[in-house]
Structure 1
Amino acid sequence: MLVAVAAIGATCAVMAPLATADDVETVTSSRSFPKVTTVKKDLFAEATSTEVDADADWGGIESLDVPQTKSAAEIAAEEQAAAEEEARQAAAAAAAASRSAERDSLSSGTSATTTTVTPPASATGASLASYATQFVGAPYAWGGSTPSGWDCSGFVMYVFAQFGVSLPHSSGAMMSVGSPVGSLAEAQPGDIITNSGHAAIYIGNGMVVNALNVGQGTQITSVSTSFYGSYAIRRVL
């Protein structure tokens, strides 16, 4: 046994040098980047603000005057409004020219419809009513008393003056001229229908001829349309 042990020891002594570190090639490595020990949080969080230096120069872009564009609908609306305004001005000019022509016509002795105004034939109520209707279309003018422009009492005063009757230029004062008529059923053509705010000449069948306002001028209307509330009926002729 001693011989066997000695033989094994000799074999290990011979083979040991075969496995030394000098005879084995080894591979070593080292880090090529710094070690990170801090864990970043909220990697997907979006930035909510940006700081800019107060003296930063952006080439004046913040002061650019950017023109504002308009939609097709806005442009169309503006064009339509302009066209409507142009039409309104043209209509106003035409109306003014028409009124001027009416005044010229009346001042030359014709009515607004170019019908010659016939002088009164006789001083009767019927003749007065017929004469008054010839001025339908004559213009209205506050304080006026001629065919070129009159108000309600100015119209009545002018018509009666052509029959030799002098009346006050006031609808309220006309409530006391002539003699009273009890009701509209008893009224006759040529009677004056008046109250403190309006005056007209009765032409029969519940109708009057009267100067209404600037827009309507002299017109034939019903008594109920021209008078609201009470009124007086006076007979002068």
Structure 2
Amino acid sequence: MAVNSNPEPFDGASENIDPSKSHQVAVSPSRPVRSFQRAAVAGAPTVRAAKPAAKESGWRKFRSTAIMAIVVPGLFGTVALPAYAFSPTAEDTASTSSSLQTLKESGAQSLSVDEGVTAAAVVRDGYSATTVAELANARAVAEAAEASARRATFATQQTSFSGPSASDYLANPPYPNFSLAQVFNVALQYQGVPYVYGGATPAGFDCSGFVKYVYAQFGIDMPHSSTAQGNMGTRIAVEDAVPGDLVVSAGHIGFYAGNGMILHASRPGTPLRIGPIYADNWWIVRIGI
């Protein structure tokens, strides 16, 4: 229903109603304005309509509090239950101990062995120690056996050589005109000859046997000893050395090959060849002057 938002002044007398003004409301002149206003307000929502919502909110709070009072203690009881369940009591411990004692006394862990089984005899291992004297004796025996093997090899190889010996060359030297360059060229012919201890022929040389055999071909007789050969001739400066001179060191000798190299029979298992001078202390000796 539409109400005139700008009503005419009302003085309490009767008023004619204009039919064209459908929005106007006829009011009884005997009815006070206050009654009209109350009727208009009664049709609209009032403050009293919100009271049920307040009551409902209070009920919800009460219900939530009641649920919490019931559920929370139950949760605490559930959490505490495993700790209690895994805590053995004194009765449980005593019962377990009693059961173990019963098993021990009843012989549950006993073992029987057949009478036919015999125990194996136990023998303690013995040991022995080798003295220093025994080790020295064993070393001497090994060295003697090695020397014997070298002599046998030497004898076999030397007898297998059918060419001239150093003595044969001394009696009739093929190079009567002495020259250091010629000496070195003759020495080069024997590269590859095996090392043989005591050897003095192309079947096998040691260091001094090689030098003796080469110089014999020039009519120069040398002893079969590196020390004795080193004492022959004249000692010269290293910078004056030429191929054909002798490189001498303690216990070893060979032919100087230039540029700090030596042609020699070096050691067992290594054939005669040119290699670096490996001695820490060496000098040069020249034969023929």
- The normalised TM-score by structure 1 is 0.51
- 5+ residue gaps in structure 1? 1-39, 64-98, 110-118
Q: 2:200 aligns with which of 131, 145, 159?
A: 145
Please identify runs of 4+ aligned residues in structure 1 that moved more than 6 A: 43-46
Q: CA deviation at 1:48?
A: 4.2
Residues 164/138 of structure 1: CA separation in 2 closer, same or farther (3 Å cut): same
Residues 48/139 of structure 1: CA separation in 2 closer, same or farther (3 Å cut): farther
Equivalent residue number for residue 271 of structure 2: 217
- 5+ residue gaps in structure 2? 1-97, 121-152, 164-173
Q: Please show how residues 1-237 of structure 1 align to structure 2 within 5 Å.
A: 41-42=99-100, 47-52=108-113, 56-57=115-116, 107=161, 120=175, 122-182=177-237, 184-223=238-277, 225=278, 227-229=279-281, 231-237=282-288
Larger Rg: 2
Distance 1:141 1:50 in 2: 74
Structure with greater proportional helix content: 2
Q: CA deviation at 1:210?
A: 0.2
Instruction: Give the number of the structure with larger relative contact order, counting CA–CA contacts within 8 Å between residues 6 or more apart.
Output: 1
Equivalent residue number for residue 67 of structure 2: none
Aligned-CA RMSD value: 3.2
Give CA deviations for 1:146-177 in whole Å, capped at 9, x if unaligned. 11112111111111111111112111112221
Equivalent residue number for residue 16 of structure 1: none
Equivalent residues of 1:121, 1:127 under 8 A apart:
no
Distance 1:162 1:49 in 2: 97
One-letter identity of the residue aligned with 2:285: R
Q: CA deviation at 1:122?
A: 4.4
Distance 2:109 2:190 in 1: 82
Equivalent residue number for residue 67 of structure 1: none
Q: CA deviation at 1:143?
A: 1.5
Give CA deviations for 1:7-32 in whole Å, capped at 9, x if unaligned. xxxxxxxxxxxxxxxxxxxxxxxxxx
Residues 148/48 of structure 1: CA separation in 2 closer, same or farther (3 Å cut): farther
Distance 1:122 1:221 in 2: 28
Q: CA deviation at 1:142?
A: 1.2
Q: Secondary structure at the match of 1:165?
A: coil
Distance 2:222 2:192 in 1: 23
Distance 1:47 1:166 in 2: 100
Aligned length: 143
Residues 47/234 of structure 1: CA separation in 2 closer, same or farther (3 Å cut): farther
Equivalent residues of 1:120, 1:128 under 8 A apart:
no
Q: CA deviation at 1:50?
A: 0.9
Give CA deviations for 1:89-138 in whole Å, capped at 9, x if unaligned. xxxxxxxxxx9xxx69x9466xxxxxxxxx65842100110110111110
One-letter identity of the residue aligned with 2:116: D
